[in-house]
């Protein structure tokens, strides 16, 4: 029987970090299925879904624990086979785009509106950049979200637009289809 595991990988960024984790997975008989990884503030962080024979799980865990001595911390979580790996929302797929002057609390307030409607954030990318005219910082966010059945896109959009004025950001929420 094959099992799926989700690994979270965190360590100081260095050449070969991904290769070291990939080698441990491969040497344990695992298959690297999907991942999201990035360098942030000198650290490297990622999440990886792997599949391997159930009898090889302990060997993978031991090998990854040994890798910590090289400055990489890996945590391992089991994947429930009943969960749809393509997403948990089950409803309408949508894309949220946001841009505005950077300030604390933007992600908290936007995610609060999404959570209040039961919207699942499937993927979120955020960053800051220099504003072209003012020289201040612009905050940008792009999220792939899934609205539960029965929740209208227009309702979520209206609630986001309501707080967007207070946050002084532009928000666009549209169907991904």
Residue-level pLDDT, tens digit, the chain, 177 residues: 999 999 999 999 999 889 989 999 999 999 999 999 999 999 999 999 999 999 999 999 999 888 765 778 899 998 887 764 545 556 899 999 999 999 999 999 999 999 999 999 999 999 999 888 777 899 999 999 999 999 999 999 999 999 999 999 999 999 997
pLDDT of residue 81: 76
pLDDT of residue 120: 96
pLDDT of residue 68: 65
Q: DSSP states of the chain as a string?
A: -EEEEEEEEEEE--TTHHHHHHHHHHHTT-EEEEEEEEEETTEEEEEEEEEEEGGGHHHHHHHHHHHGGGTEEEEEEEPPTTS-TT-S--SEEEEEEEEEE--TTHHHHHHHHHHHTT-EEEEEEEEEEE-TTT-SEEEEEEEEEEEPTT--HHHHHHHHHHHHHHHTEEEEEEE--
């Amino acid at each position: 029987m094959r099992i799926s595991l989700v690994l979270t990988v965190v360590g100081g960024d260095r050449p070969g970090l991904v290769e070291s984790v990939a080698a441990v997975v491969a040497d344990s008989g695992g298959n690297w299925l999907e991942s999201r990884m990035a360098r942030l503030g000198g650290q490297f962080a990622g999440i990886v879904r792997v599949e391997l024979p159930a009898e090889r799980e302990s060997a993978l865990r031991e090998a990854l624990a040994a890798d910590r001595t090289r400055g990489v911390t890996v945590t391992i979580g089991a994947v429930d086979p009943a969960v749809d790996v393509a997403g948990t929302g089950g409803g309408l797929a949508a894309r949220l785009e946001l841009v505005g002057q950077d300030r604390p609390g933007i992600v908290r307030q936007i995610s609060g509106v999404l959570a209040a409607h039961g919207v699942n954030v499937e993927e979120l990318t955020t960053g800051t950049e220099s504003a072209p005219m003012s020289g201040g910082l612009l905050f940008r966010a792009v999220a792939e979200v899934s609205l539960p059945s029965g929740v209208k896109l227009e309702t979520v959009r209206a609630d986001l637009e309501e707080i967007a004025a207070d946050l002084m950001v532009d928000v666009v929420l549209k169907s991904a289809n």
